[in-house]
Amino acid sequence: MIQLARQLDGADVISLGITAGRMLHGHVGSWQITLRLIEGQYLNWQALVPKRPASNALTVAREELAAAVRRAAFVADKGIVAVSYHDGGVTLAAKSPEHGEAHEEIRKSYCGHSFKTGFQASYLIYTLGALGGDVVVLQ
């Protein structure tokens, strides 16, 4: 969907077609997409969305976080970057037997309890690159 939004941005002509077989065809410039309605039981996505805002929140400059993830990813074994949230910010860490270790400290506004999680660095970099704005809030 992110790719679709990028293609639609600034497009002069957008062609859409719907077939009897419940398919949607879209054409923007040299880019084409075809979507098909799939019937069946879908996941109850509303049960996955929290009913109240998260009590943990890290506010950081999007590009600063992306740059720190890229630096840590250079030595990440299998592309995994550990992220430790704590008072005063976040620490990104990665290591591999061949390339050593990396620790990136970002001193920013974090409220909540301390915890540690991990991300596939390439997914996090891609997501941060697709977001607009200068600041992101991770909850």
For residue 81, the model assigns a pLDDT of: 95
Q: Which fold, 57-131?
A: DNA Polymerase III; Chain A, domain 2 (3.10.150)
Closest CA to 101 of 122, 80, 75, 120: 75
SS3 47: helix
Are 97 and 77 a contacting pair, CB within 8 Å? Answer: yes
Report residue 87 as tokens. 């008072």
pLDDT of residue 110: 84
Q: Spell out the domain ranges in the chain.
A: 2-39, 57-131
pTM of this structure: 0.64
Give the pLDDT confidence of 36-66 residue by residue, as tens digits: 878 888 888 888 877 877 788 888 999 999 9
- Sheet arrangement for strand 89-96: 100-107, 89-96, 80-86, 115-120
Could you report the average pLDDT of every consecutive run of 10 residues in the chain (139 residues)? 70 82 82 83 82 82 93 90 91 91 89 90 92 88
